[in-house]
Amino acid sequence: MLGIYFSGTGNTKHCIELFVKELDVASKCISIEDLKVLDEIHKNDFIILAYPVYFSNSPKIVRDFIFQNKTKFMGKKVFIIATMGLFSGDGTGCSARLLAKCGAEIVGGLHLKMPDCIGDVKALKKTIEQNKVIVKQAYVKIKKAANNLKNGHATQEGIGLLYHIAGLFGQRLWFYGKTKNYLDKLKINTEKCIGCGMCAQLCPMKNLSIVNGNAVQNGRCTMCYRCISNCPKQAITLLGKNIYEQCKIEKYI
């Protein structure tokens, strides 16, 4: 068994590591950004895939990873975990349908509510203590779902027609333009930016670089919020104009 994941602010990485540990302490988790990930997928027949949900859709980087490596999933059994700030409908189903077309067998899906990662808008903002409660509730759900899977009764959240309809009409139809392609909307305050290069180092898409002492974006943002949550000067925004919170899992565990 292998856990593979994409994680922006650490929520998803934290969840899949807990889930896989409950199933098999000897199994490991690896990011889809890791150069060894395809070799590891090849070695394992059972894959746990985890990612955050943006506007009821899977991140573009995850969809591209599946599509570009579709032959690697042929014949694999896959259980999917989707993390979210509020609601997704078919967060796991978005990838389940893609993977099924690649010849994978979808075992089940799990939706986990976690602290919201969008730090530049006020919506869904909670106190640190409230977010700690949310994380503890996720622990309970992870343990239950892992036990169900071990007992042959895999959780099916996000899988199936009714979940699909909920995802479409809940958010995805209204915000499809935000997740269909990579975004070029990342905003950098050049007066705040000190050109430290942290954002460029963290970006999974190599979307950011330092030019003449300032960060610049190249139109390939996958909305992971790593740069926004780690910028030491809070100089980067995406959906909003001001930083209300830099969201990282370390604050809530």
CATH 3.30.70.20 domain position(s) in the chain: 187-239
- Indicate the burial class of 65 (C-beta count within 10 angstroms; 0-12, 13-18, 19 or more): buried
- CATH architecture of the domain formed by 187-239: 2-Layer Sandwich (3.30)
pLDDT per residue rounded down to tens, the chain (253 residues)? 999 999 999 999 999 999 999 999 999 999 999 999 999 999 999 999 999 999 888 999 999 999 999 999 999 999 999 999 887 889 999 999 999 999 999 999 999 999 999 999 987 789 999 999 999 999 999 999 999 999 999 999 999 888 888 777 777 766 666 778 899 999 999 999 999 999 999 999 999 999 999 999 999 999 999 999 999 999 999 999 999 999 999 999 9
The pTM score is: 0.94
* Distance from C-alpha of 89 to C-alpha of 133, rounded to nearest angstrom: 22
CATH of 2-179, one of 3.20.20.30, 3.40.50.360, 3.30.470.20, 3.30.750.24: 3.40.50.360
CATH 3.40.50.360 domain position(s) in the chain: 2-179
* Distance from C-alpha of 111 to C-alpha of 100, rounded to nearest angstrom: 19
